[in-house]
Amino acid sequence: MHWKTVGSLDDALTIPQSTNRLIPLLSSSKSQKTSDSELPPPSLKTVEKLNEAATAKLSEIVRRSKSGEKNWDGYSEAELIAAQELLNRDAQNVAR
């Protein structure tokens, strides 16, 4: 399935940002009890997998759009710049 049918580039930018904030919270928190009516938070492993998948897809969007590949031209230059900056920021955080 083509990513653009699933969501916008804004959606693709949101997932890595959200998971990057959630991972430290899940890593540092002990298992928290939830009431019967609340869903438990996702596992750290699940969030890490989501972050990896979202980052890979965002990288693909930027790479294919910038190369002018057919059917990957619906993104504005500003969106692609923002996506690339997010990827670069994540790469710097991993390198530290």
Residue 28 makes CB contacts below 8 A (sequence gap 6+) with none
Model pLDDT, residue 41 = 85
Model pLDDT, residue 4 = 45
Domain boundaries, the chain: 7-25+41-95
Model pLDDT, residue 27 = 81
Model pLDDT, residue 88 = 92
This prediction has a pTM of 0.69
Q: Write the pLDDT tens digit of every residue in 75-89.
A: 889 999 999 999 998
Q: Nearest-CA neighbor of 40 among 50, 49, 29, 51?
A: 29
